[in-house]
Amino acid sequence: MIDKALVETCYLAILGRRPESAAVVEDKIARLSSAAALVGELLASPEFQDRTPGWVTDDYFHQAPRIDVAVPGALRQALFDRLRRQWGELGRSEPFWSVLTHDQYRTANLDAAAMARFYDTGAEHAALVELFCSRNRAEIRRGICVELGCGVGRVTKHLASRFETVIAIDISEGALRECRAMAEREGLANIECRLLTAPDELARLGRLDFFYSVITLQHSQPPVQAYILDILLSKLKRGGGFLFQTQTYYPGYRFVAEEHLASAVETMDMHSLPMHEVLRRIAAHGHAILEVTEDMWTGRRGSHTFFGQARPRRSLRAML
């Protein structure tokens, strides 16, 4: 028989952590009939597979699957509309949990102490700007920063002390409502919240000094990601910069736009935009790629952070 103690022990031994929630434990107890079945399921999980050393060879020789990136504008908007409905519902029901999926940040559990902890977590993420600049010996403009996927303003709060203006963009009205409330509480008059109802609206932005986005792009479908990146990268002033993250690869991932639109809507979709699609867009606008590093923002391999400088004045030789 499976009980709570067994589930927790197996999680610690195999995955090195405790179960995400009581609901996960209850699901294992109700669904699996033996300890062998429990162990087998955990060993077969993508999380455990990510921890094993054999994945490097498998990924290195993988064949490229079909991933639609260039699609007609009407189809791209249909994909975006699906995304807006999905995140609109999350923003209405669980605006904080949808950013950090821990039970303490669910609406029913959220109190003043949990709220303070939540916003404190954004400090380290905003500090990535200085960290990447420092280790790449780069200087960036500190004027207008666009944060794509600001959510409830967890990182926005801390970006506001680093830039003259932060344009906080999101597709969820519920999340933006919380972001505005945070800015008002903190007296941060240099934060401007904007609701994005269509990717084309980004073309109306003026010139930018910095583009920042973490744990956002991977939730958008590849055609939407590519289109948004192309617009925002085109807006950067010379000497500005960018720091953004997305998932570029995951075993078995494929994307056919029509199939995706016909599929059931999940709580939170995860997508991959191939790295060559990202690098081509950065290069097309003449930007310098200073660092591409694998991260764990998605909780699984294949996620990368891209950092660089917009059309740098200095030559590469002078930067070395």
pLDDT number for residue 246: 95
Q: Most confidently modeled of 22-31, 93-102, 275-284?
A: 275-284
113 and 239: one domain?
yes
CATH number, position 308? 3.40.50.150
Tens-digit pLDDT profile for residues 233-284: 999 999 899 999 999 988 888 999 999 999 888 777 889 999 999 999 999 9
213 and 147: one domain?
yes
- Beta pairing, strands 288-295 & 303-309: antiparallel
Mean pLDDT calculated for residue range 187-212? 95
Q: What pTM, to 2 d.p., does this model score?
A: 0.78
* Four-CA torsion 280, 284, 290, 294, nearest 10 degrees: -20
20 and 80: one domain?
no
Residue 63 lies in a domain: no
Residue 290 lies in a domain: yes
Residue 69 and residue 222 in contact, taking contact as beta carbons nearer than 8 Å? yes
Domain range for 16: 4-52
128 and 236: one domain?
yes
Residue 284 and residue 231 in contact, taking contact as beta carbons nearer than 8 Å? no
Please give the mean pLDDT across all residues of the chain: 87
80 and 186: one domain?
yes
**Angle, CA of 174, 241 and 176, to the nearest 5°:** 5
pLDDT number for residue 160: 95
Tens-digit pLDDT profile for residues 127-167: 999 999 999 999 888 999 999 999 889 999 999 999 999 99
Residue 66 lies in a domain: no
291 pLDDT above the threshold of 70? yes
Residue 136 and residue 101 in contact, taking contact as beta carbons nearer than 8 Å? no
Specify the number of domains making up the chain: 2
Residue 144 lies in a domain: yes
pLDDT band at 94 (very low <50, low <70, confident <90, very high): confident
**Cα–Cα distance for residue pair 4/99, rounded to 1 Å:** 28
pLDDT band at 57 (very low <50, low <70, confident <90, very high): low
Residue 123 or 53, more confident: 123
28 and 165: one domain?
no
Backbone angles phi and psi of 251, in degrees to 5: -55, 130
E strands along the chain, which residues? 144-148, 165-170, 191-195, 208-213, 236-247, 288-295, 303-309
55 pLDDT above the threshold of 70? no
207 and 135: one domain?
yes
Which of these ranges, 36-45, 179-188, 191-200, 201-210, has the smallest mean pLDDT?
36-45
Residue 60 lies in a domain: no
Helix (H/G/I), strand (E/B), else coil: 193: strand
Backbone angles phi and psi of 243, in degrees to 5: -145, 105
19 and 152: one domain?
no
Name residues whose C-beta falls within 8 Å of residue 187's C-beta, 6 or more positions apart in sequence: none
